[in-house]
Amino acid sequence: MILLDRVTKTYDKNHNPALNRVSLHISPKEFVILVGTSGAGKSTLLKLLTREEKPSSGKIVVGGIDYDTLKDKHIPLLRRKIGVVFQDFKLLPQRTVFENVAFALEIAGMTNREIKTTVPKVIELVGLKGKEKSFPHQLSGGERQRVAIARAIVRQPKILVADEPTGNLDPKHSWDIVKLLEKINKYGTTVLLTTHNAEIVNKLKRRVVVLEHGKITSDQVQGSYKQ
Ligand code: ADP
């Protein structure tokens, strides 16, 4: 569960807040699309969830963790609950597909044996079987994003946050990535997707939350979006 209760984030006192008394409730296993023009506050909202930023006021609770009482030493535990995917993939260029995904498990202290059984399953799930030994530069944009998604879900987070994951992709690859996010959601992961792409939003027929100037101006179960 994700809960924001009247959350305000002000970076700079001379400017309007990036988020202004935003309240939002997302149930476990929901698929939610967050839309809004550039500067609306989408990234800020995601950064508050991952604790890269702290709110100026308001309450945030994610997966039973109340951020008011969250100690810095427990942030890794929180981040294990939230997988994140970005527009620019953020892969390690000198490592293969297998190694990029395995890296997330290595830093979590998993044994080699566990890594060898877990990573191939996730690579297969995202549709990259046979590409284990490829390096990022040998892959298409869509394939790179699949690697990033595999890395984000390999530790089985409860929530997957995808920040403009199709921003660098053509329409065909974009839709494939969105279908993959739907598949991951079907297996029980909450998905929070931000996008500018009205076509994707309208095709998905999912809950759509619209942010404008730091405020939620619309929240509809089968929402649509006009740019
Ligand atoms: P979006 O992701 O919807 O484009 P952002 O959350 O990045 O929107 O930005 C919302 C507002 O907050 C913008 O006016 C932006 O300039 C401002 N902002 C974002 N990050 C910072 C920061 N680190 N310092 C100061 N202002 C920021």
Q: Is 9 in the pocket of ligand 1 (CB under 6 A)?
A: no
Spatial CB neighbours of 167, under 8 Å, sequence gap ≥ 6: 87, 195, 196
What is the model's pLDDT at position 225? 81
Banded pLDDT at 121 (limits 50, 70, 90): very high
| Span of 3-7, 38-42, 77-81, 138-142 with lowest mean pLDDT | 77-81
| Ligand 1 neighbourhood includes 36 CB (under 6 angstroms) | yes
pLDDT value at residue 123? 98
Q: What is the pLDDT of residue 77?
A: 87
| Protein residue closest via CA to atom 26 of ligand 1 | 11
At 119 the pLDDT is: 98
Mean pLDDT of the chain: 95
Ligand 1, atom 22, lies closest to the CA of 11
Token pair recorded at residue 219: 């929240």
| pTM recorded for the entire structure | 0.94
- Percent of the chain, pLDDT > 90? 89
Question: Which of 13, 15, 44, 193 maximizes ligand 1 atoms within 8 Å of its Cβ, making it the mutation to test the pocket?
Answer: 44
CA neighbor of 9 nearest in space, from 66, 60, 57, 62: 57
In this structure, the dihedral spanned by the alpha carbons of residues 227, 192, 178 and 206, taken in order and rounded to 10 degrees, is -70
For the CA of 12, the nearest atom of ligand 1: 25
78-93 residue pLDDT tens? 988 999 999 999 999 9
